[in-house]
A and B are shown apart, each in its own frame.
Chain A
Amino acid sequence: MAIGKIIAKNLKLLIRSRSSALIVIIGPLLVIFLVGIAFSNINKYSLNIGVYSDEYSELTESFIMRLQEKEFRVQKISSVEECIQMIKEGKLHTCIVFPPGLTLESDKINEVVFHVDYSKINLVWMVLDTLSTKLGERASELSLELTTTLLDKLELARVEIYDRKETLASVKTASDDITSQFQSLKQDVVTTRLIDLKTTSADLRKYIVEKATLSRELIDGIKSELDELNLSNETTHSFKKDFSSINTLMYNIVSKIEDPKNLTENDWGKITRLIGEVESKLTVISNKLETAISTTSNGLNEIQQSMDKIYENIEGIKVKEATTIVSPITTNIKPVVPEKTHLGYMFPALIVLVIMFMSVLLSKTLIMMEKHSPAYFRSLLTPTRDIVFILGTYLTSILLVVIQIAIIIGISIYFLKAQVISNIGPIVVILLLVTTFFILVGMAIGYIFKSEETATLAAISIGSIFLFLSSTILPLESMPMQIGQIAQYNPFVIGDALLRKALLFNAGFDILANQIYLLLIYSGVLFIVIWIAHLVSKKHPLEWIIKHKK
């Protein structure tokens, strides 16, 4: 088969040309080796940080210490201006200015200022993000301490209220008892018994003495209970004074009743009058006491209601953990795929990048080698069809690139633990399609451009355009909308997206179909371009022959 011989010839020419062999075989291995070393880690970044404060407080030092605990190189700078200048000179990545005497006690706003170099656009967000996280951790700790103290105080109040609720209830019960006893006294002694005393004469005396004595005891009891009512001193004193006078009157009554000589009709009249006075005084006292107890009871009720409300409110606080209050919504970022090294995440883009430059440069080199070869003219004079030459170059390129991809993926699987085998079918198809597209790009460049130098420049330029209009350097979302939308159709972006879906998310052909069709269409268009360019380039050998005639 002529095509087999063309491939064999291409391979021999490549291998026997030392520079080509170096670029084609060693180049990709070197790329993957260097990239592997550079990205195969999960460490954060070694940043040089300058800090400045007019007055370093204990809190500021704690922030600095937290930064130093990580791999950040922190140095104190003598002024803000110097710190900013050092950023401009590239000696520092960022400068953090802490407010003087930073504390959490005052009411002032503690603002920590970051100075960063926005011209290093891909670094600045990383710096801000990393440092904000570190400082944020310390700020959260401080906030946690403050909140914990606040909650502790609140808990103490809750317990105290809960304990006092029983005391309050007992006081209220005591008050109710007094009211009840007093009503009983009033009803039993004053209203009923004293009236009976007026009408009964013989047995009444003994009975009166008994009841008077009982009344005195009850009055003493009431007096002692008065202390437990939280009445004002003045009221208590007034009550005690009134009860004492009643007690004295009762004593006089008993004394008079127990001495028969004293009991004349006149005396009975006096007794009856005294009883009437006692009755009236008791009524007055009773009314006063009722009013006082009622007032006290109402107050106690209000206090009890208020305390119940406070207790219920405190009890109603569902979140009592300080951590939860400080960070009511905690963020826990979980990757959709198991955590990988930087290389793991970059692997699809990296593979497409290597394929792109390898394929474009290799196929371009093969075409240029053939076009500039003195044998090209002889090949065109043979009865071999043009398509065979085009296919021969394509197959040679894809053979070499596939070998290199296999080596790269083999290394990646063994050393970098890349997950390839689990979805090998779609991955192989994608790799072949992406490789085909970029080989055709290189071939088109090779056919279109005449000189080796121009073709190399064009290959690198086109590769760079594909690279810049992808998310590898800057996210497409950060580009102007129209450019971003156009870039969505960038074959590099499509290849990257396809490989990402297949590698990281194990996507099948049903999900990948649309983008695969798009790559196929691109390749078809490129093939037509190559065909036309090949037909045009067939004129060149004659020009070359005439030019090189001696």
Chain B
Amino acid sequence: MSVLIRLKSLGKKFRKRVILNKISLDIYAGEIFGIIGMSGSGKTTFLNSLMGYLEPDVGDIFYYSFTDKNYKSIFSNWMEVRRLFGFATQTHTFYPKLTLAENLDHFGSLYHLSPRTRKINAGRLLQLTGLYHFKDELAQNLSEGMKKRLGIACALIHNPKVLLLDEPTADLDPVLRKEMWNLIKGIHKMGTTIIVASHFLEELEDVCDRIGILHNAQIIHVGTPDQLRQAYSKNEEVYITTHPGRYDLIANSLRSYPQLPIKRMMVKDHKLVVHTLRSEATLHYILHIIERMNEKIINMEVKKPSLDEIFEIISRRR
């Protein structure tokens, strides 16, 4: 994959507080790149800098110009950058008193699209986001999920090559979150490079090709979800659901086998979660204990460590 965006020693301060500290990063064309970080870690500043809206104090961001076939600074070519990029912020960036169609038409005109192109693009995006039947509704009357989708539609009205998404699933219920990620995948399939910042790490790992961890004003690690897991944790997680579910007795019995490499155990969502370096051996002993205690197995699964855990580990280390 070719590099679409290249960050070189990007630095940004707000007053005396360093938000971004010499960040260097490549983002490839056609990938979904996730940014994770704690609240206030600078994810939004990072995205605004990518859009060229915030000029850095040091460093630069380059993008691949499809017209000039070379890399150009985002900050000195903002007209082209704005045509190339789309940005859906966490807040709703459309006019609540305009209808969905009017919003899309208005923003399309600000991108100097012809009326015909605006109409075609708006229809396609309304279909894609599942809002077509509400195109004549005032935006203020939409549900929260619909508003999020409208925000993304507005960001895509000019067919950008890159879509920046800031917390696209914030404030959405699980069903809507799933719909939103499906929408993002759908957009990605159309060839759009997506850069998404979110704190729903479990969701990001399912969608993103690569993830960057923003911590203490720096990107401390970039890689695929698997690369992240391997780099930061050898643990596997065993989830057991039994009836009647005497998890305290099961956990005590497991502790009587010191040869097992168990890191920790906890009860979470009516499940016993066991973090271990050897999931097969641990499972063997668990099954034996359950049989002995006459517990009935309802469900049992083995998982690799989640991004939540990785992020937690990284945060603790730093």
Contacts and interface: CB of A to CB of B under 8 A. Distances in A.
A373 B83 CA distance: 22
Nearest to B115: A5
B260 interface: no
Given A2-B112, A5-B106, A13 B98 contact: yes
A378 B170 CA distance: 19
Contacts, number: 85
A546 interface: yes
B98 A2 contact: no
B92 A2 contact: no
Nearest to A4: B109
Interface string A44-65: 0000000000000000000000
Contacts of B171: 550
A374 B170 contact: no
A545 B94 contact: no
A9 B48 CA distance: 26
Given A5-B109, A5-B110, A545 B44 contact: yes
Given A9-B98, A549-B44, A378 B79 contact: no
Interface string A359-376: 000000000000001110
B89 A545 contact: yes
Contacts of B9: none
Contacts of B85: 381
A8 B171 CA distance: 32
A401 to B, nearest CB: 21
B134 interface: no
A379 interface: yes
A380 B112 contact: no
Question: Interface SS of chain A: helix, strand, loop or mixed?
Answer: helix
B83 A380 contact: no
A384 interface: yes
Contacts of B82: 381-383
B87 interface: yes
A544 to B, nearest CB: 8
Contacts of B111: 382-384
A261 interface: no
A17 interface: yes
A383 B90 CA distance: 21
Contact of B53 (A4, A12, A373, A381): A381
A375 B138 CA distance: 14
B53 A383 contact: no
Contacts of B92: 374
A548 B93 CA distance: 12
A374 B94 contact: yes
Contacts of A380: 53
A542 B93 CA distance: 12
Contacts of B48: 542
B83 A549 contact: no
Contacts of A1: 109
B309 to A, nearest CB: 25
Interface of A: 1-2, 4-6, 8-9, 12-13, 16-17, 373-375, 377-384, 542, 545-546, 548-550
Given A16-B97, A374-B91, 10 more contacts: A5-B110, A6-B106, A9-B98, A12-B97, A374-B93, A375-B93, A377-B93, A542-B54, A545-B89, A549-B90
19 contacts: A1-B109, A2-B112, A5-B106, A5-B109, A6-B106, A374-B94, A374-B96, A375-B93, A378-B94, A378-B107, A379-B107, A381-B53, A384-B110, A384-B111, A545-B91, A549-B90, A549-B91, A549-B167, A550-B90
